[in-house]
A and B are shown apart, each in its own frame.
Chain A
Amino acid sequence: MSALTFTLKTQPAQRIDMSPLTPDTLAGKSAAGVAAIELHCGNRRLRTDALFDIAGDDAADIVIQNSCGKLDFIGSHMKSGRITVHGGAGSWLGFQMKKGEIILNGDADAYAAAELAGGMLLVNGNVGDFLASAQPGNRKGMKGGLVIVSGNAGDRVGDQMRRGIVLIEGNVGAYCASRMLAGTIGVMGSVGDYVGYGMRRGTLLLFSTPRLPATLQDCGSHTLPFLNLMFKSFQGLPSKFAGINKNRVRRYAGDLANDGKGEILVFA
């Protein structure tokens, strides 16, 4: 069996909802059945084979070739298998994903890993705003799983994030870990203003001291044993975080305007 490959024929003028094309929904479908699936494209519904050249038959291993930033909801609600995307991805990449693996070789737009509940999202590129956050109106963002971004991320990373781990090797924008409820975010590069704004609980791991709001307070330098455990669990991940083995940090706690049980740990 070879990977079920969708190669985008032309760059679409409208955005395409890719949520019907996941390993779970395609499992057991014939080639004709897959081709006949209708996808929302702007205000129209188009057959999958009108948009993509389709090859291969292993629905558990989906590959999207020639992808672009107009393909939204890739891997949405996915529960198993793997999706590999070559090219860009639109918004809502891995939205409410429960299990499985998405690998994006390119950049993603806003709301990547929004309300992600499990599995792994690996982005070899940059992502837009609201990574691992909640959809507008909802109270909880990412609820579990692992997100790795090799590039940069936009504003509001981990907004209302509830559980899970987000590792970003590049820089992030403003309001990182805003309204965070729990979980862990690691950022190797720089962070923008208003970091930890409204943070309730959770851990933000940084490699350089950011400009902190007054409601995040210095708790001093410490050697924290849980960091050994955490970095041990990162070993083997396809990320620079896999090679870290430090446990000496400066601890800033807050946001005191919102219960103040969150923490920003900065490596000494």
Chain B
Amino acid sequence: MIVNGVQIDDTFAEAFGMRGTRVIITAQNLKWANIAATAMTGFATSVIACGVEAGIERELDPSETPDGRPGISVLLFAMSSAVLMKQLETRMGQCILTCPTTAAFSGIDEGYPEITRIALSKNLRFFGDGFQISKQFNGKRYWRVPVMDGEFLCEETTGMIRSVGGGNFLILAESQPQALAACEAAIEAMKKIPNVIMPFPGGVVRSGSKVGSKYKALIASTNDAFCPTLKGITNTELSPEIESVMEIVIDGLSDPDIRKAMRAGIAAACELGAANGIKRISAGNYGGKLGQFHFKLREIMNGAAA
């Protein structure tokens, strides 16, 4: 399969079942909502060492938020519900409670078969030292916690659902700047897709990994088959003209969300085409035995499963 001169490999991305949640953060203006959301989703690129994978889903118009202020929706994913709950609590406490003028609300209330309510301010409220006040409107409970800038308003719980993490594709290009340009174009297109985040810096990861290592202590190590500087000395996946490979990892609330995002991203990268040095699109997998979700690139680009 070739799109605009770019070869789409006959392979698949292997992804895993995760737990995901969404939080709506509002503030006096978009600037401060963004600051809070950026802090909350900081150091959350990979579950390997960060606990959660988190990112900003999109900006919200005041008409879309519960309190009528500008907002940001944030998605967080973890390998287990216990880790997600713990990470949500600490990140809410250190990044949202602390950030001036913010308020936080549940981002998942309906539309999924199985929604578990997890604490948003249920435990955070105790920061109020007895001065916290509970209010219930339209069947939802909110906490008003007195803080130095006024009151921190936060919904008691948010919804957690079974979701998918680790959808991915690789962009193989003739040079590093060209690979990066294609990634930027892909990320730009993928940001428009709801229910997904690309958790790595700027949405792009350059250190793709394989399972295992020559060092016994390590469970993962550099994906040497895709390292261009090792072309001559390893069992390479790269043809001679490939000089740089970058990966885009996608976490989404559901399997179809990831398919849509992958399709949009690959299409945007392919639009630059062979003329701009983009040669191949591939994907990372572990032979199909580890992850429950397989995203076949050619199937996605044919639109059959999108």
A-side interface residues toward B, CB under 8 Å?
Answer: 163, 182, 184, 201, 203, 222-226, 228-230, 232-233, 261, 263
Chain A proximity of B152: nearest CB distance (Å): 9
Cβ–Cβ contact B133 & A261, under 8 A = yes
- Check: B103 CB closer than 8 A to any chain A CB: yes
Q: Besides A228-B68, A228-B69, A233-B137, 17 other CB < 8 A contacts?
A: A163-B136, A201-B133, A203-B133, A222-B150, A222-B151, A225-B67, A225-B69, A226-B135, A226-B153, A228-B67, A229-B67, A229-B135, A229-B137, A229-B153, A232-B66, A232-B68, A261-B130
In this complex, which of B68, B135, B142, B153 has the most chain A Cβ atoms within 10 angstroms of its Cβ? B135
Which of B68, B134, B135, B150 is in CB contact (< 8 Å) with A223? B150
- Check: B292 CB closer than 8 A to any chain A CB: no
A184 surroundings in chain B (CB, below 8 A): 135
In this complex, which of A163, A223, A228 has the most chain B Cβ atoms within 10 angstroms of its Cβ? A228
Cβ–Cβ contact A226 & B131, under 8 A = no
A261 surroundings in chain B (CB, below 8 A): 130-131, 133
B123-153 residues at the A interface, CB under 8 angstroms:
130-131, 133-138, 142, 144, 150-151, 153
In this complex, which of A184, A223, A225 has the most chain B Cβ atoms within 10 angstroms of its Cβ? A225
Chain A: CB-nearest residue to B135 = A226
Q: How long is the Cα–Cα vector from A201 to B153 in the complex, in angstroms?
A: 17
B-side interface residues toward A, CB under 8 Å?
Answer: 66-69, 103, 130-131, 133-138, 142, 144, 150-151, 153
Chain A: CB-nearest residue to B132 = A261
Chain A proximity of B30: nearest CB distance (Å): 16
Cβ–Cβ contact B103 & A225, under 8 A = yes
Chain B: CB-nearest residue to A232 = B68
Given contacts A225-B67, A225-B103, A261-B130, A230 and B137 within 8 Å (CB-CB): yes
B68 surroundings in chain A (CB, below 8 A): 228, 232
Chain A: CB-nearest residue to B28 = A225
Cβ–Cβ contact A226 & B136, under 8 A = no
Cβ–Cβ contact B144 & A226, under 8 A = yes
Chain A proximity of B278: nearest CB distance (Å): 47
Cβ–Cβ contact B153 & A225, under 8 A = yes
Q: How long is the Cα–Cα vector from A182 to B133 in the complex, in angstroms?
A: 9
Cβ–Cβ contact B150 & A182, under 8 A = no
Cβ–Cβ contact A225 & B151, under 8 A = yes
A201 surroundings in chain B (CB, below 8 A): 133
Chain A proximity of B67: nearest CB distance (Å): 5
Cβ–Cβ contact B67 & A224, under 8 A = no
Chain A: CB-nearest residue to B68 = A228
A263 surroundings in chain B (CB, below 8 A): 133
Chain B proximity of A71: nearest CB distance (Å): 31
Given contacts A222-B150, A223-B150, A229 and B66 within 8 Å (CB-CB): yes
B153 surroundings in chain A (CB, below 8 A): 225-226, 229
Chain A proximity of B163: nearest CB distance (Å): 28
Interchain Cβ contacts under 8 Å between A and B, 18 examples: A163-B136, A223-B150, A224-B144, A224-B150, A225-B67, A225-B151, A225-B153, A226-B151, A228-B68, A229-B66, A229-B67, A229-B135, A229-B142, A229-B153, A230-B137, A232-B66, A233-B137, A263-B133
A203 surroundings in chain B (CB, below 8 A): 133, 135
Q: How long is the Cα–Cα vector from A233 to B66 in the complex, in angstroms?
A: 10
Q: How long is the Cα–Cα vector from A261 to B131 in the complex, in angstroms?
A: 7
Q: How long is the Cα–Cα vector from A99 to B138 in the complex, in angstroms?
A: 14
B67 surroundings in chain A (CB, below 8 A): 225, 228-229, 232
Q: How long is the Cα–Cα vector from A130 to B271 in the complex, in angstroms?
A: 72
B135 surroundings in chain A (CB, below 8 A): 184, 203, 226, 229-230
B136 surroundings in chain A (CB, below 8 A): 163
Q: How long is the Cα–Cα vector from A228 to B136 in the complex, in angstroms?
A: 13
Chain B proximity of A182: nearest CB distance (Å): 7
Q: How long is the Cα–Cα vector from A230 to B68 in the complex, in angstroms?
A: 11
Which of B69, B130, B131, B151 is in CB contact (< 8 Å) with A224? B151
In this complex, which of A203, A223, A233 has the most chain B Cβ atoms within 10 angstroms of its Cβ? A233
Q: How long is the Cα–Cα vector from A228 to B26 in the complex, in angstroms?
A: 12
Cβ–Cβ contact A182 & B134, under 8 A = yes
Q: How long is the Cα–Cα vector from A60 to B96 in the complex, in angstroms?
A: 47
Chain B: CB-nearest residue to A260 = B131
Chain B proximity of A209: nearest CB distance (Å): 21
B150 surroundings in chain A (CB, below 8 A): 222-225
B144 surroundings in chain A (CB, below 8 A): 224, 226
Q: Which 9 A-B pairs have the closest CB atoms?
A: A233-B137, A225-B153, A228-B67, A233-B138, A226-B153, A229-B67, A226-B144, A228-B68, A225-B103
Chain B proximity of A180: nearest CB distance (Å): 13
A225 surroundings in chain B (CB, below 8 A): 67, 69, 103, 150-151, 153
Q: How long is the Cα–Cα vector from A225 to B268 in the complex, in angstroms?
A: 41
In this complex, which of B67, B69, B103, B150 has the most chain A Cβ atoms within 10 angstroms of its Cβ? B67
Q: How long is the Cα–Cα vector from A201 to B136 in the complex, in angstroms?
A: 14
